[in-house]
């Protein structure tokens, strides 16, 4: 079998020429890849330390780091592909169109995601605290990136989208260590208010859960239809709020009874007018005539 030596030499020269062209490009791509991996590792480690320093919520930290890692590796792969001569313009256009379509389809989820990020960063409430939001009052059991789980006081679990939580008012009932206990009472007209006030204060001071500072106060607030209305304000630790309220309402009621302080009930005076005179007088007159 005859071989064309000149053809083999041409092929060899072509391979060598192509190798001299492609090898530097491959080496450049590999260099970019390893440098990019190193930079990604440095960036992720730096951001991890920042999250740890500022005590970013663990679930948010994990999610953001994973998301950032994916984005950085996509950028690195595109850079390496561009170095190798692959056309990435069309790929970027397709990726942008797909991202727009997904964004439109997941508007609600993206809103919840943004709300979750804001909640986990700014921490208007934490797990274990009691909040009132979106018509729900209860204890926060879990904060996810999309939803917050709240258990209300009759043991129902309510899952609230974070988008609504982040864009509406939230009342955090556990943010402060102390809470004010407020009781509205009524006593009968004619009651000695100074005596009543002292009886209430003495009753509250017997409860060790009632704080001395700020001291309990009793205000006369209104002339009611059937009573003199009083507002009682005392302070207690947040965890003792309702026990202090319930126990002292009963204790004040017993103290009123012991000190002959009347708690009135609604009363009405009814006057009946007879335009033709008093029927009793008319009846007596008729009897005399007979």
- The pLDDT value recorded for residue 30 is 85
- The pLDDT value recorded for residue 254 is 95
- The pLDDT value recorded for residue 171 is 93
Check residue 73 and give left, alpha or beta (phi > 0: left; psi -120 to 50: alpha).
alpha
- The pLDDT value recorded for residue 90 is 66
Q: Minimal CA–CA distance to 231: which of 269, 207, 197?
A: 197
148 contacts 119 by C-beta, under 8 angstroms: yes
Q: In the chain, where does the domain assigned CATH 2.30.30.60 lie? A: 124-172
- The pLDDT value recorded for residue 283 is 47
CA-CA distance, 152 to 20, in Å (whole number)?
72
Q: Minimal CA–CA distance to 218: which of 184, 241, 255?
A: 184
- The pLDDT value recorded for residue 251 is 96
Domain 124-172 has CATH 2.30.30.60: yes
Q: In the chain, where does the domain assigned CATH 3.30.70.100 lie? A: 178-258
Class of domain 178-258: alpha beta
CA-CA distance, 119 to 264, in Å (whole number)?
49
The domain made up of 5-105 has a fold known as Helix Hairpins (1.10.287)
Would you mind telling me the total number of residues written for the chain in this entry? Answer: 290
Instruction: From first to last of the 290 residues of the chain, give the pLDDT tens digit.
Output: 454 566 666 556 666 666 566 777 778 878 888 888 999 999 999 988 888 887 777 767 777 787 788 888 888 888 887 777 777 776 667 667 766 666 655 566 778 888 888 888 888 888 889 999 988 999 999 888 888 999 998 899 999 999 888 888 999 998 899 999 999 999 999 999 999 999 999 999 999 999 999 999 999 999 988 899 999 999 999 989 999 999 999 999 999 999 999 988 776 777 766 666 555 555 455 444 44
pTM value? 0.60
Residue 231's DSSP bridge partners are 184, 219
Give residue-wise pLDDT tens across range 16-66.
666 566 777 778 878 888 888 999 999 999 988 888 887 777 767 777 787
Q: In the chain, where does the domain assigned CATH 1.10.287.1260 lie? A: 5-105
- The pLDDT value recorded for residue 232 is 97
CA-CA distance, 70 to 58, in Å (whole number)?
18
């Amino acid at each position: 079998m005859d071989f064309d030596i000149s053809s083999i030499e041409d092929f060899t020269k072509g391979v060598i020429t192509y190798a001299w062209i492609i090898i530097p490009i491959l080496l450049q791509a590999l260099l970019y890849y390893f440098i990019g991996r190193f930079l990604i590792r440095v960036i992720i480690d730096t951001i991890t330390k920042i999250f740890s320093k500022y005590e970013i919520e663990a679930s948010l930290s994990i999610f953001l780091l994973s998301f950032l890692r994916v984005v950085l590796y996509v950028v690195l792969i595109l850079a390496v592909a561009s170095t190798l001569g692959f056309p990435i313009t069309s790929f970027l256009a397709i990726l942008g169109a797909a991202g727009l379509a997904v964004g439109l389809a997941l508007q609600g989820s993206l809103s919840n995601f943004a709300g979750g990020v804001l909640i986990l960063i700014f921490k208007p409430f934490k797990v274990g605290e009691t909040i009132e939001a979106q018509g729900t009052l209860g204890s926060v059991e879990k904060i996810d990136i999309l939803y917050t789980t709240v258990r209300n006081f009759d043991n129902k679990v309510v899952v609230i989208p974070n988008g609504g939580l982040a864009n509406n008012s939230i009342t955090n009932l556990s943010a402060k260590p102390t809470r004010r206990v407020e009781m509205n009472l009524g006593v009968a007209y004619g009651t000695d208010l100074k005596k009543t006030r002292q009886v209430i204060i003495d009753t509250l001071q017997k409860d060790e859960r009632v704080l001395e500072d700020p001291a309990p106060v009793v205000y006369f607030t209104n002339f009611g239809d059937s009573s003199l209305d009083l507002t009682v304000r005392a302070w207690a630790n947040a965890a003792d709020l309702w026990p202090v309220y319930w126990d002292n309402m009963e204790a004040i009621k017993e103290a009123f009874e012991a000190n002959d302080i009347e708690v009135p009930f609604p009363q009405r005076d009814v006057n009946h007018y007879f335009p033709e005179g008093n029927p009793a007088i008319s009846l007596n007159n008729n009897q005399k005539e007979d």
